[in-house]
Amino acid sequence: MKTSRRTLLGGALAGLAGTMLSTKMAFAMEQSYTGDTLVVISLRGGFDGLSAIAPIGDPGYYAARPAIAVPKEEVIGGDGTFGLHPALAALAPLWKSGKLAAVHAVGQPNPTRSHFAAMEALENAAPGTSLRSGWLDRMLGLTGATAPLAGVSMGHAMPSRILMGPSADVAMTGIDNFTLAGDGKRPIAAALRAMYGDDPAARSADRALSAVGKIKSGAYAVSSPYPETELGRALRDVARLIKAKAGLVTAAVDCGDWDMHEGLGPAVEGQRMYDELADLAAALAAFTTDLGAATANVTVLTISEFGRRVQENSSRGADHGHGNAMLLLGGGIRGGKVYANWPGLSPGALVAGDLAATSDYRAVIGEVLQKRCGLGSLESVFPGVKPTTFGLAAARS
């Protein structure tokens, strides 16, 4: 069988250590993106928004969760209706300074309790259409950004489904191990450049390798120590790209295992929810401290495939549910507040035992995309969705 040029190139590019690159690339003139860098953190497994942002003013919360509800006197940053879990203490300064906010009672339009189906729908974000790309890829395409590191999936060697599609993106486990396997001992990169320099995939790889090489060649001293966790390491490298002015438009990062059917536990150190939230808070706090003034042009938001049921189970956990909470962080966020069209937790207000979702998560993101990322119509990113009007973000001037 005759081996094609594409097959040979695919085999060669498979040697990228800790890296996968999109083979699709628009080779228009580089355009200047002037919006925020959008960092999307996926809290995989089903984040329990009712623990993280506790509805302390709703008596249904304490009736449904006698063992695992967060006591009113232990929340931080509260307003009498909602309060932040005490494990988020590292984020208290950001809450008080108005850079951290939350949106509660958010969810997907067609809820399911299947992890795989819910995450696939969350990342595609176009139910009822023929679109198969990820919504972050579609957002990236609208910005016109063509820098080799405009879209990055950080922390995993395989591209994130949220970035699946025609826009250029790079997946890396980390900046320092983003290399072509074997290069240095043999001039592999130079050989590929000579053989396949006119191939889009090779050009994508070459541009990305060159851009990362320049970043790696410079010294990098963090302004604040990061926790030695997967999220901490990933956010440290995202900050490194931002501070290097590498043209980063958006980064996708995964965080933790939030599927706590058992052992979610009360709000004390050593319990699963407490410890996971503390790690999340420590990484985000380090990230913003490290960025310093650059935080003004960065927005971080969290998403998760679904929330947890309102009623705790016999294992001091909570099963798959629906309505959830999102965290939003950045210089353009109007924080120190929980935004919500709160439906309540009385038995009659629940939907099949779950917190009702009164806001589409896509509408929340849509408000950020318009106000902080400079997008106009959301139709090609989130078909049929109108942005929320919470006023949770200030429009860029």
300-309 pLDDT, tens digit each: 999 999 999 9
Average pLDDT over residues 334-348: 98
Kindly tell me if the per-residue pLDDT of 15 is higher than 60: no
- % of the chain with per-residue pLDDT over 70: 86
Question: Which tokens hold the place of 345?
Answer: 């937790």
Quick one: CA torsion of 280, 281, 286, 288, rounded to 10 degrees?
A: 110
65-111 pLDDT, tens digit each: 999 999 999 999 889 999 999 999 999 999 999 999 999 999 999 99
**Stated pTM of the model:** 0.90
User: Is 397 part of a structural domain of the chain?
Assistant: no
Query: For 23-32, 51-60, 72-81, which range has the lowest pLDDT when averaged over its residues?
Result: 23-32
pLDDT band per the 50, 70, 90 thresholds, residue 1: very low
Task: Check if the beta carbon of residue 169 is closer than 8 Å to that of residue 140.
Answer: yes
202 versus 156: the higher-pLDDT residue is 156
* Residue in the block written with tokens 């309540």: 344
pLDDT at 197: 54
42-51 pLDDT, tens digit each: 999 999 999 9
pLDDT band per the 50, 70, 90 thresholds, residue 28: very low
Kindly tell me if the per-residue pLDDT of 377 is higher than 60: yes
What's the CATH code of the domain at 337?
3.40.720
Question: Which tokens hold the place of 115?
Answer: 């992890």
214-238 pLDDT, tens digit each: 998 887 888 889 999 999 999 999 9
The rounded distance, in Å, linking the Cα atoms of 168 and 234 is 20
How far is the CA of 311 from the CAs of 113, 261, 353, in angstroms?
15, 11, 7
pLDDT at 8: 33
Average pLDDT over residues 176-195: 61
pLDDT at 206: 77
- The strand pair at 100-107 and 324-330 is best described as antiparallel
The rounded distance, in Å, linking the Cα atoms of 337 and 392 is 9
In 3D space, the residue among 308, 297, 234 whose CA is nearest the CA of residue 272 turns out to be: 308
pLDDT at 370: 98
pLDDT band per the 50, 70, 90 thresholds, residue 188: low
pLDDT at 273: 98
Name the helix (H) or strand (E) containing 180: strand 179-180
3-state secondary structure of 17: strand
Beta bridge partners, 102, equal 327, 338
User: Is 395 part of a structural domain of the chain?
Assistant: no
- CB count within 10 Å of CB 272 equals 19
* Residue in the block written with tokens 């919504």: 135
Question: Which tokens hold the place of 270?
Answer: 């050593």
Question: Which tokens hold the place of 346?
Answer: 């009385």
The rounded distance, in Å, linking the Cα atoms of 174 and 253 is 11
User: Phi/psi at 306 (nearest 5 deg)?
Assistant: -165, 170
Distance of alpha carbon 123 from the chain centroid: 10
- % of the chain with per-residue pLDDT over 90: 77
User: Is 282 part of a structural domain of the chain?
Assistant: yes
Kindly tell me if the per-residue pLDDT of 182 is higher than 50: no
142-161 pLDDT, tens digit each: 998 989 999 999 998 777 89
**98's torsion region: left (phi>0), alpha (psi -120 to 50) or beta?**
left
pLDDT at 218: 81
343-369 pLDDT, tens digit each: 999 999 999 999 999 999 999 999 999
The rounded distance, in Å, linking the Cα atoms of 334 and 323 is 22
User: Is 392 part of a structural domain of the chain?
Assistant: no
pLDDT at 325: 98
- CB count within 10 Å of CB 87 equals 25
User: 38-65 b/e with 16+ CB inside 10 Å = b?
Assistant: bbbbbbbbbbbbbbbbbbbebebbbebb
User: What is the domain range of residue 48?
Assistant: 5-372
User: Is 180 part of a structural domain of the chain?
Assistant: yes
Query: For 154-168, 169-183, 211-225, which range has the lowest pLDDT when averaged over its residues?
Result: 169-183
Total domains in the chain come to: 1
User: Is 393 part of a structural domain of the chain?
Assistant: no
Kindly tell me if the per-residue pLDDT of 324 is higher than 70: yes
Average pLDDT over residues 172-189: 70
Question: Which tokens hold the place of 165?
Answer: 């599609």
110-147 pLDDT, tens digit each: 999 999 999 999 999 999 999 999 999 999 999 989 89
